[in-house]
Amino acid sequence: MVFFAIYNSPLGPIVLESDGEALTGLRFGEGKTPTTSSLPIFDEVTRWLDDYFAGKQTENAVMLKKDALNQKNVARIIVLPKGTAFQQRVWQALLTIPYGKTVSYGELARMVGCKSAQAVGQAVGANPIALFIPCHRIIAAHGQLGGYAYGQEIKKQLLEWEKNPTETSAMVTRW
């Protein structure tokens, strides 16, 4: 069963998805509003998003296999994105990119041992859990923004947010 919640961010509504235990989806956007549920994972995600949009440096999520959900002392949000083995490898590499830093598609390709930055770009674009798996931190060669599933303006705002969190959080009011 899939559960949903809506988080009203300064950049617009964010739809959260869960299997009841882990975060399985996070996307910006409007459209059909799903029936929302109240779950402990959504409470944790909301706290993380509140910190993120308040300009506090947040830690990356932890991507675990379903059978690892019972691990003790996991303090970070557990994400379980669905994808191919290659996509999973790329998404795991995204989790190593620190808050406020960016990496090019080519650098990410080298990190995962792939010769094709284009293949890596496609895996990045298929990321079902934005922000927590920080695909917005991947940029094109020579510092250009590159693409983003939710538009370049949101990507630009997220990168600026992380570069100058206190200035940006003071400028944006909750949507």
Residues tagged active-site: 135
- 75 in Cβ contact with 44 (< 8 Å): no
Rg (CA), the chain: 16
DSSP code, position 147 = -
For 62, the 3-state DSSP assignment is strand
Phi-psi region of 138 (alpha: psi -120 to 50; beta: other; left: phi over 0): beta
For 80, the 3-state DSSP assignment is coil
